[in-house]
Amino acid sequence: MLKRLNPATVHAPAGKYSHGVETAAGVRVLHVSGQVGAGRDGATASTDAAQCEQAWANVMNVLAAAGMGAGDIVKLNAYVTRTDLIPVYRAARDKALGNAAPPASTLVVVAALANPAWVVEIECVAARA
């Protein structure tokens, strides 16, 4: 299964994440490509918050297609294009993860994404026995 690691020798996580997540031998692993705030029709959501929520919805839909959910996320990488988006992103992340055990996580502020209209991109690795 998955073992969440937050050793006492490292500072406490600053948000809803774990410092490490260990997987056991024989688990299924899913790599989810970067998901952005575009809906099924390809249209980009109109607000920053809506883009964050849509990107998370896309991640959850890919996980669901593999029979997985938020609790199966092992590693999460998120990219936002401005520092003022960090609390907006975190609110969407916390809503999407709900009460699931927090994954290992990285949040990076970047100059731009592939489409200038996009403000967030989320990729992850998930695992399930």
Q: Closest Cα partner for 57 from 72, 75, 36, 71?
A: 36
pLDDT tens for 24-76 read 899 999 999 999 999 999 999 999 999 999 999 999 999 999 999 999 999 99
pLDDT for the residue 119: 98
* Residues pairing with 42 in the sheet: none
* Cα 59 to Cα 46: distance, rounded to the nearest angstrom: 19
pLDDT of residue 96 exceeding 90, the answer is yes
Helix (H, G, I), strand (E, B) or coil at 61: helix
Q: Is the pLDDT of residue 14 over 90?
A: no
CA 119 to the chain's CA centroid: 14
Q: Which domains does the chain have, with CATH numbers?
A: 18-128 (3.30.1330.40)
Return the pLDDT at 129. 83
For 98-129, how does the pLDDT look when each residue is reduced to its tens digit (9 = 90+)?
Answer: 999 999 999 999 999 999 999 999 999 999 98
